[in-house]
A and B are shown apart, each in its own frame.
Chain A
């Protein structure tokens, strides 16, 4: 535990160290822990309510009982086969987007440096549209197309922004350029499409959890199981890199290696999430911002952003179903509206504070 200061100075806010006699020590921030715990509770609660929401409402108590394997068979089918996978996809997609967004914002040292702005979402969309419009492919093929599109876009941004290392502003500028190209390609593909394909494309482009099942849950779970620990193991280096490449290099961080690794992870997370649910707007942009305002900590805030993304997406899906009935409004519309309003509020607040 942090020792009380001798000279009457108040202790460093909220930071605690856990130490064992063996020389191990962990640094924990109390406020961040509380935020993460509250977000997890919120995500869990929203999930239970969401599973209970639909044409056939189920009380929360029954949902929990069924999930624990003690429900009646009729509810069991609806809960475990229809609604649980959809909610799990929502949680995983939200978590991936939240974490991917936090990584990109930290690497680009720009609060707007999220995958939406850098063209990754549009790149995934291009991949999906090629499959829908030119090949009239199946849902699985669309997913693969979106994944390929996202990864190719990520690789293109990295290579174009590379000049003896990748620097924040160049990453953002190149990303905006790539985004513009992808938007043009997508516009062209849409004008080429016939009415049925165009409608299908637009629904995909809005981002939706409708009809998502176990076949999306497993690949996402596997990907997160590999990438999240990998990212967290490099989080301390990323924290140092916020002070500039030279200083973090001087402190012993292998800057280019950490950056390349984390960028690959962020691109994979975002591309996989987009392939599973479509380009759900704004989650990657606002989850890290909100998480940061709650923890009030400098640094990438990776775990809080991940939890915030999951909570936001499931809550938005619930709100869209609640307000407009089951399967009426894709979740991307809600995150877009909420995200847009949040961004405006942020800009107004920052301007009042005299920061922009």
Chain B
């Protein structure tokens, strides 16, 4: 049985229902990516998996237990989340921010152990921000800042790590940079990663397991090579396209149909 799963969950904000009877399994040691059009519920699903949102029906299970019933710090030692918007407090240094990821391992009498210090150094090294340790987070570029946040999440040392659109607002080279970093963490440390991504090509390239959502329902899930087809893209994103082989990685690459070709089919259909 996998460590993290959602069973028949209904997800809603106030009265607005985002998803009903949704079931998802996150395969252990996978790099799972959730894709889908805007407002399909992918971030909401991630919030439910990380206990930010309590399902109005159904349950989210972590290691066989209902996640809401577990002690907050115990969950935080098993499952980490990097939300889309986090605030770096004014005047905080990189090392201090990364160190805050140690919170679930600390207590009032165990505020800063040698282990904390070692893990923070290691997390900064793995994400390539060790030389920025004493810089203020406000001074960093967007790409560097995202690395720092990932370092903070790593310092939490959770076997499961959830990332909500970690590449949003980044330039293309920083997007690839962050995704490479995620892939490396997944390969070398065996952590289970779950990310919400906007870019289907990035998802197909990096994911070992893909979940395609549409209107709160799972349309397809599996290895990108098995499930990414022109039909799926058309069904989920309403986009006519060709799927070719990525010349670099051999993974599926989505090439949207030319504007004229799409206009023609739209005319045919009507």
The interface of chain A, by Cβ under 8 A from chain B, is 2-3, 7, 9-10, 12-13, 15, 17, 19, 23-27, 109, 233, 236, 239-240, 242-244, 246-247, 249-254, 296-299
Contact = CB atoms under 8 A, between A and B. Distances in A.
Contact of A25 (B74, B89, B110): B110
Contacts of B216: none
Interface stretch (B23-31, B130-138, B183-191): B130-138
Interface string B46-58: 0100111000000
Contact of A236 (B79, B87, B91, B106): B106
Contacts, number: 107
B104 A243 contact: no
A72 B260 CA distance: 102
Given A12-B93, A236-B111, A253-B103, 18 more contacts: A9-B131, A12-B96, A12-B134, A24-B110, A25-B110, A236-B106, A242-B87, A243-B86, A244-B85, A246-B85, A247-B81, A247-B86, A250-B76, A250-B83, A252-B74, A252-B75, A252-B76, A298-B91
A298 B111 contact: no
A242 B90 CA distance: 9
Interface of B: 47, 50-52, 72-77, 79-83, 85-93, 95-97, 100-101, 103-104, 106, 108-114, 116-117, 130-131, 133-134, 156
6 contacts: A13-B134, A244-B86, A249-B52, A251-B101, A252-B77, A252-B103
A354 to B, nearest CB: 12
Contact of B72 (A17, A236, A244, A253): A253
A12 B100 CA distance: 14
Given A243-B87, A243-B88, A251 B113 contact: no
A156 B206 CA distance: 51
A170 to B, nearest CB: 16
Q: Which of B80, B88, B111, B131 has the most CB of A within 10 A?
A: B111
A26 B110 CA distance: 6
B14 to A, nearest CB: 8
A240 B100 contact: yes
A26 B130 contact: no
A32 B80 CA distance: 31
Contacts of A15: 96
A254 B106 contact: no
Given A19-B113, A253-B72, A12 B95 contact: yes
